[in-house]
Homo-oligomer: A and B are copies of this chain.
Amino acid sequence: MTHEPLTVDADRFAADLAQLCEIGWEGERGLHRTAFSQPHLQAREWFLRRASAAGLETRVDGAGNHSALLPSGEPEARTLLLGSHLDSVPAGGRLDGALGVLGALEVVRTVKDAGLRLPVTLEAIDFTDEEGTVLGTMGSRALAGQLTPEMLASPRYGRDRLLAALAGAGLSEESLFAARRDPADIAGFLELHIEQGPVLEQAGVQLGIVTGIRGNASFDIEFVGAARHAGTTPMAARRDAGLGAASLILGLRELVMRDFPGCVANVGDLRLEPGAFNVVPERAVLKLECRSLDEDELRELAEAVLALAGREAERWGLELRTEAVGLWKPAPTHPRAREAIAHAARRLRLTATEMPSGAGHDAQVMARITTSGMVFVPSVDGISHHPHEWTSLPDCINGTNVLLGAAVELATTS
């Protein structure tokens, strides 16, 4: 290795990024590239064409995952996967997922062009349906053997949509299961991604080394009081469900900031019933989620949140109903992957900080079966899942160079 580390072709990367960002882009209406939509299929074809043009092998598996491969010269070599996803949320931004796929392609191209001989096969992969307009992390789950018949029986938007999406893409439930790969054949997984939050930008740091993907516990919560005439019922004689909800919203913030400083929580939805100017609310129905990087801490946080809701219900004379609606365990990244990323950043003289990922990613799935890591680049104003989502081109190039450096280190030390 020379004193100056290998870097990617910034001009080629920038030109390709500009092209990719156009596919499904509707200006202020955002990026419309949901899984299996025409713009999504178009982006995937574009990806394979760019891979072929670079002299790479291409492959589409039974889950629809699209790959560009640089085979190792060594026999029985394992595969180091690099990638993310080309699908978007509806009215989303241009870099969530796409940056990680293009960055992976650029890394594989660069290694090929440099004539580097690695002991692993390098594979840039575009996973199917990460965002979940059909099932959610469908492609990475299939590859990692993490799909179950139960998941396919009741996908979040219904089974009809799932079956229609699979059939339209020439896939099937059988082919999804057939896409599973043996973890023994995989050397690791690295994902470059935009942060989707304001931490890096506010700290003035160029890169995030993801320590893990936060687990997520979500609840439907309902406070029940008594509907009364708001003109005739004195303040002290009310059982106002809105007071329970309001106290929980404020108390939740205080609880997390004071007792769970590394965590986040959110009341994202709330409605009052019956919902009239002159009726004291009988019901307050909330959607609440909390997240932590640590499984024990997530459990403690969820317990503390429910205890808080119980205390507020008692304080205001309300009944409380809670229902757990989702639980995702935290997925720590691998120390060797984090070290490889840190080394690469240092060699490139880029500033980097360790941080958790609050959002879910394909890396969350892959971390269950192989040595996995994630690189974050700063999101302008912390915006994501929105037409204004963006990251500066220099930051995108920095992230791709770090992905390259980390991939080479992991490839040669795994």
Residues of A within 8 A of B (CB): 195-199, 202, 214, 216, 218, 227-237, 240, 242-243, 245-247, 249-250, 253, 256-257, 264-272, 275-281, 287-289, 291, 326, 357-360, 382-386
Chain B residue, CB-CB nearest to A359: B231
Give Cα distance in the complex from A278 to B291, angstroms.
10
* Residues in B neighbouring A266, C-beta threshold 8 A: 230, 240, 277-280
Q: Which residues of B contact A272 (CB under 8 A)?
A: 267-270
Determine the chain B residues whose CB is within 8 A of the CB of A242 once the complex forms. Answer: 249, 267, 270
Nearest 7 Cβ contacts at the A-B interface: A231-B358, A197-B232, A230-B266, A232-B358, A246-B246, A246-B249, A269-B275
Complex A-B: 27 CB contacts under 8 Å: A195-B232, A197-B232, A197-B233, A197-B237, A198-B237, A230-B268, A231-B264, A231-B358, A233-B264, A234-B264, A236-B257, A242-B267, A243-B253, A245-B249, A245-B270, A266-B277, A266-B278, A266-B279, A266-B280, A268-B279, A269-B275, A269-B277, A271-B271, A276-B287, A277-B288, A277-B289, A278-B289
Question: What is the count of identical protomers in the complex?
Answer: 2
Which of chain B's residues have a CB closer than 8 A to the CB of A287? 275-277
Secondary structure class of chain A's binding surface, majority of residues: mixed
- Expressed in whole angstroms, the Cα–Cα distance for A270 and B284 within the complex equals 9
Q: A230-B358, A245-B249 known; 8 other A-B pairs, CB under 8 Å?
A: A227-B386, A228-B383, A232-B357, A242-B249, A243-B249, A268-B278, A277-B288, A277-B289
Known contacts A214-B231, A250-B243, A276-B287; A202/B267 CB under 8 A: no
| B253 contacts A268, C-beta separation under 8 Å | no
A382:B237 contact, CB within 8 angstroms: yes
A249–B359 CA distance with the chains assembled, in angstroms: 31
Q: Does A234 contact B197, Cβ atoms closer than 8 Å?
A: yes
Query: Nearest chain B CB to A230's CB is how many angstroms away?
Result: 4
Give the CA-CA distance A269 to B277 in the complex, in Å. Answer: 7
Q: Which residues of B contact A245 (CB under 8 A)?
A: 246, 249, 270
Q: Is the CB of A280 within 8 A of B268?
A: yes
